[in-house]
Amino acid sequence: MKLSKKFLLIGSALSAAAIPVIAISCGGQSESEQDKKVKALVAKMEADAKAAALKTTLEGYSKDLMIILSNKAEAKEGSELLIKAFNQFYGTNLSIVQVGGSENYQTTLKNRFAAGPGQILLVGAESQSAFGDINSNLVNTDAKTFLNITDTSKTFDDIVLGDKHFMPQSREAYGVIYNKKNFADAKITVFEGKSFSASPKTGLNLTKPEKYDGTVKMGDDLYVFAADLTVDGYKVIKAQLAEKLPTKQVFYSTIKAGKSDIW
């Protein structure tokens, strides 16, 4: 199946995977440790009937480089070893590029399209409007076609954009419930959905730290740019809350599964 040089879009909706997916973070691992885990993943694919069948179905698949463009750090960390195993097993040439931090995903899309269509697999983490202007360059990727499903009774929650259908990948949601008054009392200001690039619009003269984690401390005040927030930034917030409001319960969990918390 030779793909034309256009962009594929996989959206974020209902999970529809046909091969065993195991997320393994490869940060800080030696090359030998990574090789062992890649071999283990390949072995699982070889033992999986559906994965083996796909290898036959996809025989002759394009060997051209296909870039997976992601704006989620955890997706990259959890996918690198799987992609290596996938390339070994299926003979493909996939690579993943992480977009994040102060880099705007939608701006990155526009810049890449300005250079002309290429072979890029997009993870649709932006709103549909972000892809509306580039719809003519997108390849229809409905789930039934790409998963070779002929049973007409089966339906999928494909994401529809214009005249195209896109295969759903996963369903997830992130959020935080916090007491805004308590945050104000702790001298924490949250710019919801904003990145540091929007800081001039706040009317504040803020300097971006060398080790930026989504927070900026100025005097006794802490400013949080939610779109950039990392785990380290969350820890900075918790430390400020513990210092200013040691007896207050500021965060609330909405998940009823063990000790999970929401941020």
CA dihedral 52, 57, 59, 64 (to 10 degrees): -100
Q: What is the pLDDT of residues 125-136, one digit of tens each?
A: 555 666 666 677
Q: Is residue 256 part of a domain?
A: no
Which two three-digit tokens encode residue 98? Answer: 């992480």
What Cα–Cα distance (Å) separates residue 171 from each residue in 16, 112, 143?
A: 10, 26, 15
Q: Are residues 30 and 158 in the same domain?
A: yes
Q: Are residues 160 and 186 in the same domain?
A: no
Cβ atoms 139, 119 nearer than 8 A: no
Which two three-digit tokens encode residue 237? Answer: 């917030």
Residue with more model confidence, 208 or 117: 208
With residue 50 as reference, give the H or E element that holds it. Answer: helix 49-57
pLDDT class of 231 with cuts at 50, 70, 90: confident
Q: What is the mean pLDDT of the chain?
A: 72
The rounded distance, in Å, linking the Cα atoms of 78 and 70 is 12
Domain count within the chain: 2
Q: Is residue 252 part of a domain?
A: no
The rounded distance, in Å, linking the Cα atoms of 29 and 35 is 10
Q: Are residues 83 and 45 in the same domain?
A: yes
Answering whether pTM is above 0.85, one says: no
Q: Are residues 101 and 190 in the same domain?
A: no
Q: Is residue 249 part of a domain?
A: no
Q: Are residues 55 and 95 in the same domain?
A: yes
Q: Are residues 189 and 132 in the same domain?
A: no
Segments forming the whole domain that contains residue 151: 7-166
